[in-house]
Each structure stands twice: as C-alpha cells, then as structure tokens.
Structure 1
C-alpha cells in the first residue's frame, strides 16, 4: 500500500512545483509498473480469462472456504498482501491475491477500474477444485477495502467481508489530474460507466493527502450517490482502523459505514479501533511481515501498529472461521 501512495504524493508534488503547463504533462505520465511478487512454493501465478493474481489453495481435498484478497493502491501483487495470503492458506482458506491495476494487462492508474475484474475473480475462485462456492469472503485493505465493500454490495453471496483502513465512499480516481486539477474520473467503473464518486477538495498538506479526503467528505451531503450502500450487503462485516491515521480518515469513514448500516437496518459491523495505529493498522503480524517496516510512516507509532496487527489478525481469522466455517 505504501508504495502506491508514495508515487501519488510524488506526482502531486511535481505537478504543484512545475506549474500548469508542465503539470499537465506530468499528470499524463503513468506510474512506474508495480513489482509482482512471485507466488512461491505453495502458490501459483494465475493469468487467464482476465484474472491476474497469485492463488494459494488450501491443503487437502476440502471443500474449503475461500478468500478474495485485495491489496491497496500499490497495484500489482505486493509482499504485504502475500504475507496475509500465506497465513490465510495455512488456516484452511484457499486465497486468491488479485492484481487489479498497475500490472500487465491492467490500467496503469487507479482510474475507472472495472468492477467486472473483481466479479470475474470471484467467479474464477468459486470454480476451483476443493473450493466451496457457497463460502466466499472478501478481505481488503485501503483502496482494496473501498473496492471490497463496493463489490460486496453488488456481487451476491459474499459470506463475509473484512476491511482494513476502509472507505465509506467511492472516491475520484487516484491520479494527479484528480488531486490537483479537479474531478475527472472515478476509481471504479461498471459496464463501462464510472461509478458515482466523491471529488477530492483542496490541496495536499505538508504531511500528505489527508486534507483532500477530509475536505471531500464535507461534500457528501450534496453528493449522496457517492456513499457505498452498505445496506445492500447483508453479510457479516468487520472493519479495522487506526485513530492515528495520516493518509485518509479511515476511522471517521468507519463510523460513517456503521452509522449508515444502523440507519438503514443493515447488520451491524464488528469494529476494531486502535488508538496508536495508523494506515499500517491491519495486515500480517510482525513475524509474518518483517518487510512491512514502514508501518509507522503513515500514522501511529511503530509499536502501536504492530500491537494492532498482533491483536487484530487472530480476530480476523476467528471472524472468518465463525462466519464461513473451516474445511470439511
């Protein structure tokens, strides 16, 4: 997740410094392609029928519950998400770590990404040997959480969803054009049309993008269609956020999801909040994710983020097992 946001911040800074003419040129440049982590000995690379990812089938004949795992704005297949995929595989969940942008055959920018890509991935996962098609979950983080909640409200039969650092709304596409020059596109599309989205407002601050999201949320009342209709997802939902977040307001957006679910009569989400954690609040614990040493750079203390992960990860696994069951 960190790498994608660093790219975005760098491009935004270049646009501001260079000015209108040079900024337009800089904004048109695609990001550097993300590195695709290898699947490793217990996984396999999938590149077929529009699905690009690493697949980690659970051991044994099954049938097994399965998870569609969505990383954040880094694009491609990251090491952080892979660490989670391996842990889920070891717990008996056949897990597809999906690349949905900034990867071969995918959009370079996180702009108008087709929701159909996620639908195809779920269809593919349900057809795999040893997978119980009636026990499928989505686990997503950051932009993957935004996509995950949106998909859960539109794709029938999702048995559980776990969303770290979530969003309550669909945002503009993640590009310099949108951050600096105004609203041009959505992050997501369906049937070739942009999904209703909320515009960024204002300019990035000295510490990052937080102001454009905080100011953007103030416009939600006048753009209600941008809110993700959590009430259209009737399954169990877990939300994880850090109150020291510096990247986007994930805890306030968590509160908005909970409030909307209550107001609309939807099942109440399970919420895990951590005071001293930020955008590194959710994910594999330290022993499985030693390379995620950046956790404190996007809010919270290093100890606070690792403590949050150590506390939340077993609860994520227990939640999934309680709602989906284990291998049969």
Structure 2
C-alpha cells in the first residue's frame, strides 16, 4: 500500500491536475513574436503611420492566452498597435507570481514606444485581474501614459501565488519587485473555505495595518477606467475598484470611472462573447450568471473603445 501511495503521489506531482495550463499562443495574422530585451510578447502593429500604442496584460493564467491574443488583435483592428505581454509562466520565465520585476513592464513600454508604428506620445495600458493590478501599478510609475484600463482590478499589491506548487503559498511574499526589492504587499487573510473571494476579503479587512500596500494611483497622469463585477467570486473587484476611485479623489489624483455590473463576476469585462463561442458557457464560472456576464461585456466593451478614442485617439 505504501508503494502504491508513493507511485500515486509521484504521478500526481507530475500531472499537477490543480495547476492551470500556461500557454503562449503563436501570433495570429499580422502579428509578430517579440523576444527582444528579454521580453516575450505578441506584437500587433497598425499598418501605416504611427498609431497609439497599448500594452496589454493578462492575469494569473500566465503566458499569453488565446483570449488575450484575440483581444490584442481586436485592439489592433480598432487602430491601436498592441503588445500582448507574457510577464510570467512562459519559457524561461518565473513559474510563480513571486517578486516579478516591475521593470519588465518598463522594458515593454520602452519597446512599444520605439516601434515605428507607435506614436510614443499616445500610449496606454490595459490589464485584467492580476494584470489589472499590474496596470494600475504601471500607471503609478508612468505618469506619461495617456490611458489606463483595469478590468476586474485590485487597489493593492497582493501577496504572490504559486499555482504550480500551492503548498508554497504561505511562504511567498509580494507578487512584485522593484529595484530588486519586494514591493510592500497585503497578505492573504485567514481562509476558512468557500469562494476564493473570501480569502481576499479577509486580507482587505486587515488593510489598515498594511497601508503601504495600497497602489499610489494619485501618481498616475491619465484618467482611469475600471470595470468590475459585483458578484465576483475570485476577488472583490468592485470594492477594490471603488477604493481606487476614492483614493484618487482624496489625494488629488486622476479621474477614475468605475463600471460595475450586479449580475457579473470575474469575467465581467472585455470583448463580447457570442453564444456559439466555446467560452460562452464558462462566463459565469467566477460569479454572476452566464447571461449577466455576457450582457456586461456587450455593454462595457463599446465604452472601453470610446474611452480609448477619447484618451488616445486612433
């Protein structure tokens, strides 16, 4: 029995059924793979004269997902030269969200600004989930950016995660680092089961003791658009979005607009998903109903595009 248990344990270790598959999709039509300066990204330039540039950041799935890549292509088709960046999980990249260097985003923005298809004076960042957390951090470090979109974002820097080896979670510090030092972070709370949002909510309950973990959004120079789902079961994206707006207002920061949807969750934001899309029936997986998330996306994507047009042009 001991041998059987050992063999089963080894098989489980290599299979890792709890760990999501990290993919780095090949670029689609009109896109190119970027590996310069240590980056890993898919770049979709707008043909012709210099267009606004957008840095696109996915979430805790890591790599460059099919959906992030498709979104980059949609943005290119709307007139924005877009760089979809893998900031962890790809080949030769960290496997865990642990002390990930914010300098990766600095390098990505510099690369984007140097491209002939990009007007360096009209650049922005869009991020979803952990990428939404990153997008607000990037905005606070780059006041020259003209446009910032956070989809189901965070108001704070969170403790990191290792989805490949979840038993390490208790020993992981900050998700991010800068100049080789961990960025101050908010630890997870005491998780007693239930939806994952309760873990994050318990952390937010201790925010008064970790004020240095709050993202200094008042340092951003661009008006900010945040989209969230009130029924998010991944983390409290609407509560954190309102915290971003409140801090910006209290500290003389930029205008922050929050689009919140009652019957939507962690998939509340982004391009519309048709009923025949394989992803459609998964829209309610992390809160809200399938129909509620679909309706939210159908409503907020045109507003995101209108916001980009207002802040960047095209």
Give TM-score, length-normalised by structure 2. Answer: 0.90
Q: Distance in 2 between matches of 1:107 and 1:41?
A: 28
Q: Does the aligned pair in 1 maintain the 2:242–2:258 contact within 8 Å? A: no
Q: Pick from 250, 257, 262 the counterpart of residue 275 of structure 1.
A: 262
Q: What are the equivalent positions in structure 2 for 1:183-202 lying under 5 Å apart?
A: 184-202=172-190
Q: Pick from 35, 40, 43 the counterpart of residue 31 of structure 2.
A: 43
Q: Does the aligned pair in 1 maintain the 2:140–2:216 contact within 8 Å? A: yes
Q: What are the equivalent positions in structure 2 for 1:244-259 lying under 5 Å apart?
A: 244-259=231-246
Give TM-score, length-normalised by structure 1. Answer: 0.86
Q: Does the aligned pair in 2 maintain the 1:202–1:215 contact within 8 Å? A: yes
Q: Pick from 145, 152, 157 the counterpart of residue 170 of structure 1.
A: 157
Q: CA RMSD in A?
A: 2.3
Q: Pick from 130, 153, 170 the counterpart of residue 182 of structure 1.
A: 170
Residue 201 of structure 1: how far off its partner (Å): 1.1
Report the equivalent of 1:5.
none
Unaligned stretches of 5+ residues in structure 2: 1-8
Q: 1:179 to 1:281 in 2, by over 3 A?
A: farther
Q: Distance in 2 between matches of 1:311 and 1:124?
A: 32
Q: Distance in 1 between matches of 2:309 and 2:169?
A: 45
Report the equivalent of 1:76.
63
Q: Distance in 1 between matches of 2:274 and 2:169?
A: 42
Residue 74 of structure 1: how far off its partner (Å): 0.2
- Partner of 2:52, secondary structure, is strand
Q: 1:241 to 1:154 in 2, by over 3 A?
A: same
Is 1:323–2:299 an aligned residue pair?
Answer: no
Q: What are the equivalent positions in structure 2 for 1:55-70 lying under 5 Å apart?
A: 55-59=43-47, 61-70=48-57
Is 1:54–2:42 an aligned residue pair?
Answer: yes
Q: Distance in 2 between matches of 1:289 and 1:210?
A: 29
Q: 1:156 to 1:55 in 2, by over 3 A?
A: same
Q: Does the aligned pair in 1 maintain the 2:143–2:222 contact within 8 Å? A: no
Is 1:228–2:215 an aligned residue pair?
Answer: yes
Report the equivalent of 1:130.
117
Q: Which runs of 4+ in 1 moved over 4 A?
A: 29-33, 176-181
Q: 1:220 to 1:116 in 2, by over 3 A?
A: same
Q: Does the aligned pair in 2 maintain the 1:33–1:102 contact within 8 Å? A: no
Q: 1:57 to 1:287 in 2, by over 3 A?
A: farther
Report the equivalent of 2:292.
304
